[in-house]
Amino acid sequence: MKSETDARPPELVRGLSVWDATLVTVGSILGTGIFITTADIARVLPHPGLILLLWLLGGLVTLAGALTYAELGALFPRAGGQYHFLKEAYSPFWGFLYGWAAFLVIMTGGIATMAVGFGEYLGAFLPFFSTKNVLLSLPLGFHTLEINGGQLAGALAILLLTAVNYIGLKEGAGLQNAITLVKIASLVAIGLIGLWLPAPVSPKLFSTLPEAGMLTAVGVGMIAVLWSFDGWYGCTNLAGEMRRPGRDLPRGLLLGTAIVTVLYTLINVVYVRTLTASEMAATSRIGESTALVLFGPVGARLINAAVLVSTFGCISSTILYAARIYLPMAQDRVFLPALAQIHPRYKTPAACILAQGVWSVLLTFSGSYEQLYTYVVFAVVLFHALTGTAVFVLRRTRPDAERPYRTWGYPVVPAVFVLASAALVLNTLIEKPTESLVGLGLLALGVPAYFHWRRAARNGG
């Protein structure tokens, strides 16, 4: 005969510490951006001093976002993060729209994009996995589906990390932490050795640019910087599995964001001491070019290895935290009912992890992951603006709610984050109007799905 305890439905395990929250935050941010983005910035803003300033400002804006999300995560310490914040501040419909976009493209498309990037860098060491190695070509009407080695490597990486996260929180977080520590150590080593070696370039940090066009260039550069910080909010999805979310989530967000800001600034100091502004603008992989100058061909290979590890770690962290978005949606009966279950043995949202993995692999092989992701960029920044505003809404509508953590510098700090997010929304709408409208169309596809699931829930289906 089963005991009362045995009869209870399984629950997520609260096993994550502030250490885990910090490393998940760091791991969610550190991907390929730091090895590429500065070159893109140098093309529009060929000024070493302003480039360094932009990275510092980007860190501060991200820190403002972390401080803002920390209050929301401590207020709603459950799996799901932004889904809960938007649902509680506005309505279940807005929470659903975010979760719908996250499953359809935002998270799964991001995983697919990083996975193929992982395969591309793996191909530098194992040519079979190169994106240039076409393994299969299938004519499908007016379209030919080609599967290359990079896609295969990416799919294998997704499947491996999905399996690890399926069997337990401890296993998924443990692997994630180990990879993140390697990523941090590699960046610290590159930065310190780069500062120790004689500087090939003496950058003029405080020279000025002509006024015309400077503001536009700074804005474009800031957008690139902020996208390199993307992923900082990931551990809010894991609040339901933290031992002391009211304390550990804010600390993990703040420490993780601060660590990445220091690392990014350190690496960019090495860049501007090694390459001139024109040399930075002329390369597509600034990390590799810098290592080639400082350390020779062996150094360039080591940078490729560091990028490989960083990308693999970013996939790992995204798989870990993103799957937690869909569980509360299904439990609220506004998403696929089969995803509402927690594994009775592993105590993980196993069905969500599997569904996310399968869809990510399909996007990886589809060849349309990057295009799909550009469509939802507008939705991503729009949800950030709405989530930042949720702090103000909830302070007004729920003034007496218990808040284990309150945003430092309120209302200035969340206002800075909301304004920065709104500026990104406006810029995305102006720069990519077609993609933004298509992104809104993908969101609109979720509307009939939402009302279908709501109707089924009311009818007991």
50 CB-near residues (< 8 Å, 6+ apart): 209, 218, 221
CATH code of 13-458, in short, is: 1.20.1740.10
pLDDT tens-digit map of 131-168: 889 998 877 766 778 899 999 999 999 999 999 999 99
Please state, in angstroms and rounded to a whole number, the distance separating the CA atoms of residues 352 and 327. Answer: 6
**Percent of the chain clearing pLDDT 90 (strictly above):** 64
Phi, psi of 139 (to 5 degrees): -75, 125
Q: For residue 395, which of 421, 420, 414 has the smallest C-alpha distance? A: 414
Please state, in angstroms and rounded to a whole number, the distance separating the CA atoms of residues 182 and 176. Answer: 10
Q: What are the domain boundaries of the chain?
A: 13-458
Instruction: Name the stretches of the chain with pLDDT < 50.
Output: 1-6
Please state, in angstroms and rounded to a whole number, the distance separating the CA atoms of residues 351 and 162. Answer: 11
Q: For residue 10, which of 169, 127, 132 has the smallest C-alpha distance? A: 169
Q: For residue 307, which of 38, 35, 40 has the smallest C-alpha distance? A: 35
Size (the chain), residues: 461
40 CB-near residues (< 8 Å, 6+ apart): 224
Q: Which two tokens stand for residue 407?
A: 């945003």
| Residue 118 near residue 100 (C-beta atoms within 8 A) | no
Tell me the DSSP string of 148-185.
EHHHHHHHHHHHHHHHHHHT-HHHHHHHHHHHHHHHHH
Please state, in angstroms and rounded to a whole number, the distance separating the CA atoms of residues 56 and 261. Answer: 7
Q: For residue 321, which of 347, 361, 343, 349 has the smallest C-alpha distance? A: 349
* Helical segments of 229-296, H only: 245-274, 277-282, 286-295
